[in-house]
Amino acid sequence: MVNITADSTLPGGLGTFGYDDEGVKAKRVYLIKDGLFVGYQSSRETALLIGLPESSAGMRADSPQKLPLIRMVNINLEPGDWKRDELIAETKKGILMSTNKSWSIDDKRLNFQFGTEIAWEIVNGEIKGLIKNPTYTGITPEFWGSLDGVSKDDWRLWGTPNCGKGQPGQVMYTGHGCSTARFQNVRVGVTKEATAANGVQ
């Protein structure tokens, strides 16, 4: 069910361009297809080193003075075959979260934690009360392995204007296309533990 692409051809994307900074024409490549890891983002040099036929067109520099780096273009979770309302209607006990406001992941990109602006409780397929300061956390392959539904009707190409990478640092525009998706058995609510003990808050 997990299909993730690196696609620098999408109209209007923050990670969209004609050619990357090695002169490779923008393209769409699969990183994960039908749940299987199938490819890396690459440069002309690293594509050769890892046995890919050609670069994924992932090299970008944030100014002419900087060396291009392999970095995110538009990295997308491809649409699934659910309707957003069906995902909610078929959820017995869950949380619907919206809009990340806090993010953190370890150097191996395994242990992640996000906080979102807002969330709602879902009980027996219906949206109930508001949940403040929601968070979710997990281990990357376990989390993506638990995906069991992706919406097809609210896919949108989002993005961020300030993805940081490299030393000396470079800041770049990146796109993230996605729609509502459902994951099972996700750990939520770690901030409660941060404030509950010792009666401080």
Partner 1 sequence: MVYNKELLFEKAAIALREADKLGASQAEVLVSLSEGALTRLANSIIDQNVAERHAQFSIVVYDGKKKGSTSVEVFDKASLQEAVATAVKIAKISPENKDFKSIPGPQPLKPIPFKELVFKKTKDATPEERAEKAMLAIESAHAIDKRIKAVAGAISHGFSERVIVNSLGVEAYAAGTYSNINITVLADDGTEETAGWSADNNRDFSKLHVQTVAEKAARKAADGFGMKNIEPGDYEVILEPAAVAGFMFFMSYFGFSALMYQDYISFIRDKIGEKLFSEKFTMWDDAYDPRIPYRTFFDDEGQPKTQLELVQKGVVKNLAYDTLTAIKDGVTTTGHNARFRGRSLPIASHILVEEGTVSLEEMISETKNGILVTHFHYQNAVNPTKGIFTGLTRDGTWLVKNGEIQFPLRTLRYTDSALRFLRSIDLLGKYSELNDSQFKVPAMKLPSFRITGSQKE
Can you give the binding site for partner 1, defined by CB under 8 A?
65-67, 102-108, 110-111, 113, 115, 133, 135, 137, 139, 162, 167-168, 190-191, 193-195, 197-198, 200-201
CB of residue 51 vs partner 1: minimum separation in angstroms?
20
**Helix H segments across the chain?**
44-49, 84-89, 140-145, 190-196
Shortest Cβ 94–partner 1 spacing (Å): 21
Question: Shortest approach of partner 1 to residue 45 CB, angstroms?
Answer: 12
Report the residue number, 28 or 44, with the smaller CB distance to partner 1: 44
Residue 98: phi, psi to the nearest 5? -140, 130
The single-letter code of the amino acid at 174 is T
Minimum CB separation of residue 165 from partner 1 in Å reads 13
DSSP state of 64: T
What torsion, rounded to 10 degrees, do the Cα atoms 81, 86, 87, 91 define? -140
